[in-house]
Amino acid sequence: MIISNNNKKYLNLEKKHLKYETKNMTPNIRIKWKKAYDYKIVDSENKKYIDFTSGVFTSSIGYNNNHLKKIIKEAMDKGFNHSYHYYNEYREKYVSKLIKFINSPKLKKCFLTSAGTEATETAIKLARIYGSSINKNKLGIITIKGNWHGRTMGSQMLAGKNEASKWIGFFDKNIYQIDFPYPWHKNSYNKSFFHNSLKKTFKKKF
């Protein structure tokens, strides 16, 4: 959903946000949320919009999903504690269903995190541990240029050197970036594109 609205009301709304929030967290969709249901959003003026996104931090199950509301209310009424220090039935059901859904002979364990950035940092750690267990010098991680995994140091190093990562000051020499096969790049969906990208990054013949 892309909405361009630069009238005075929304500019004033943005100023209010900037009084208490940093600029990089200011909403880029210029509507003031009032309510939502299914795939529709209603703003403060009762205008309706269709949301074609999955939503950040959520699954695409529709706004105001009755089944989800019922489960959340049930948990909240029990005084549910979100902390991972305790066993609980919701956690047990979730991880068991997730593993069954993945249905892989090798992926049999879950590692639950609080946010995507934490998951990314854990993925970096696991890749390094696994690589070094085979060869102590096997520390390389290949990522895609222009990716976005979060605001932590590790996750921003995966995206390479850009405006968002200038603050880091140094980069892990074992993290490499290759080109992404965007559909507007000619012949991007073939083996030669991938091989040429590796060659450009590593200066070797593949």
Give the model confidence (pLDDT) of 9-49 as tens digits. 777 888 888 888 888 777 777 788 899 888 888 998 899 99
Decide if 63 contacts 42 (C-beta within 8 A): no
What single letter denotes the amino acid at residue 48? K
Are 150 and 92 in the same domain? no
Q: What's the pLDDT score for residue 48?
A: 93
Of 67, 37, 64, nearest to 50 (Cα)?
Answer: 37
The residues facing 144 across adjacent strands are 178
Of 185 and 70, the structure prediction assigns the larger pLDDT to: 70
pLDDT per residue over 53-67, tens digit each?
Answer: 766 666 678 888 899
107 lies in a domain?
Answer: no
* 71, pLDDT greater than 80: yes
- 144 within domain boundaries: yes
> Residue 95 sits in which domain range?
66-102
Residues 186, 166: one domain?
yes
**Residue 113 is assigned to a structural domain of this protein:** no
* Contact yes or no for 120/150 (Cβ under 8 A): yes
Judgement on whether residues 198 and 131 belong to the same structural domain of the protein: yes
Q: Tell me if the pTM is above 0.85.
A: no
Whether 119 is in a domain gets the answer: no
The total of structural domains in the chain comes to 3
Residue 180, domain member (yes or no): yes
pLDDT, tens digit (0-9, with 9 covering 90-100), for 115-163: 889 999 999 999 999 999 999 988 999 999 888 888 899 999 998 888 8
What three-state secondary structure class fits 141?
strand
